[in-house]
Structure formats: C-alpha cells, structure tokens
Structure 1
C-alpha cells in the first residue's frame, strides 16, 4: 500500500492541480472534498474545520503542503502546518504552480512555512520544468513530479524532540 499522507493546499485556486498529484497514485492522501462537502464542513464553523483537519491528519505518516501561488496566504494551510509541526509529523512542501489547471500554469508562491509560528526549516521540492524558451512545460513538470513524488515524501522535516 502507498504511504499515507495529508495534503494541505489552497482549495479554490489549486484543486485541479491537487487532483493531478493525487492521480499519480504514489501516495494515499485524505479524500479531497468537493465544493459542496467543503461548504458543509465550513458551515459548522472553525470547530468543525479543526475537527475535520484533526480527524484526517490523525493517522497520516506525513504532511505535504502543495504550494501554489496563494497557498502561503491561507489561514487553514498555516494552521495545518503548525499542527503537523506540533504533532511531530514529517512536513515538506512541493510546488505545484507548474502543473496545468484548466490549461494554464501559474507563478510561484511564497514559502508558507515562513508564515507558520515556531516551524523550523522545511524542505520544499520544485518539479517545475521550463522549455527551451523559458516557458513552464506543464507536461515535463508533471513527469518530474511523477518520478520524484514518492521519494520526496520521505524527506520531510520534523520538530526536534528536546
């Protein structure tokens, strides 16, 4: 069975890119809620969202932050990072802006780990590949992610135990 991970990401902007990552099937992630299911959880307020995060993250071996252009500005992503760090779960980032979402790629976003309180250095992997003209090649980016996702998932940083 594939390694079980929790994916943290900006839903509205990056859900199509996240589906590409999940479709690689190298890792087993939590279910990606459709927009109606997510709205149902959100209507329950902050307590319901925290419960969903805690329940989904509980038995995962690592937390992978899928970093798009606006990921670092999302409060729930920062919460998930801080929770993973406090729980001493291996934590890493993978840039996904170079994957195609409805035919377009995006620009790189800020480091979300820098915005999380008390979190140390966390590795960020970037599969983004450019063609000869300097444009992002989304197919080559996907293929690089496909070739490396499983090995990257075992290189997360954890909070020191001292």
Structure 2
C-alpha cells in the first residue's frame, strides 16, 4: 500500500527533534526535513521566499499534519500553513507531541489547540478538525500505531466541509 503524502507543520525551534521521531517512523511520505541553516537562509530571504517554500513543499500532499507542541499555536507560519492547507482543499489533522521525549529538552507542556483560532464557515475549526493526544506513557507507539487512521479520519472530515474556507 502506498504511503500517504503529507506536509508537516510545527514549531521548528522547539519541536524539530520530536518531529524527526515521527518522520523516522517511515509510515508516511512527508516533506523532507529542512536543516536549521537552510531554514535560516529561507527566512532571511523574506516572507515571499517562505511562502514559496511552503507552496513547493505542500504541493501534491494529501494532508497537513500539525504536530502540536507547547507553543505551536503562536507560530505565524504554522497559522499560515493551516489556512493554506485548508483553503487549498487538503485534509488537516493535529497531533499533540508534548509527550515525545526530545533528546535535548525532554517532554514539554501541552500546547493549545491551534485550530481554535480559526472559523470555517459557521464552525470553529477546533471543533471540526480531528486532534489527537497520544497515550502519555507511550506517545511514540500511540502515534506510530494510529497516525495512518488519524489521517484517514481527517480526509473524511475534509470531505464533509468541501468548499469551505477560513
């Protein structure tokens, strides 16, 4: 069976090591990780360069997987990626990653649901987009064993709200 192709959205500075654990599971076909140096180079090139990078990496992806750490909801580019993914017709799903152990920082506090900041038609996006909180005692295996079905559910939900925009 072909792997689902997804775009990962997350707070780079705080969560890149947690996100790398999910990428390394090998279950999904996700965008290739960008190095810290490359991301800094893109950022120095300005907002349009960042938007172009996001567009290029989001192209042909079925879903946007928002990996939610402690401060993800505050990040302007995560907010942009959520809006862009939804408005382009992609499925959107959130997964809390605060219980994944970062080799540098350990675990972190659970962040706020980033979808609560948006409305889709008459609905608050936080009430319609699936968001999962993996088992605290074994977050890694909880994600590994369920991420594929969580994305399937997000695709189903997106079909219900087809044609709606943020």
- TM-score, normalised to structure 1's length? 0.89
Bigger share in helix = 2
1:155 aligns with 2:162: no
Measure, in 2, the Cα distance between the counterparts of 1:43 and 1:128.
38
Secondary structure of the structure 2 residue equivalent to 1:154: helix
1:47-62 aligned at under 5 Å gives the runs 47-62=48-63
Match of 1:29 in 2: 30
Runs of 4+ in 1 over 6 A off after TM superposition: none
- What is the aligned-residue RMSD (CA, Å)? 1.4
- Deviations, residues 34-73 of structure 1 (Å, cap 9, x unaligned): 1001011111100000000011101101111000000000
Match of 1:144 in 2: 142
Structure 2 unaligned regions, length at least 5: none
Measure, in 2, the Cα distance between the counterparts of 1:153 and 1:95.
14
Aligned residues: 153
Q: CA shift at 1:117, angstroms?
A: 5.2
Match of 1:101 in 2: 102
Secondary structure of the structure 2 residue equivalent to 1:155: helix
- The 8 Å contact of residues 81 and 116 in structure 1, kept in 2 or not, is answered as no
1:128 aligns with 2:135: yes
Measure, in 1, the Cα distance between the counterparts of 2:80 and 2:87.
10
Structure 1 unaligned regions, length at least 5: 130-136
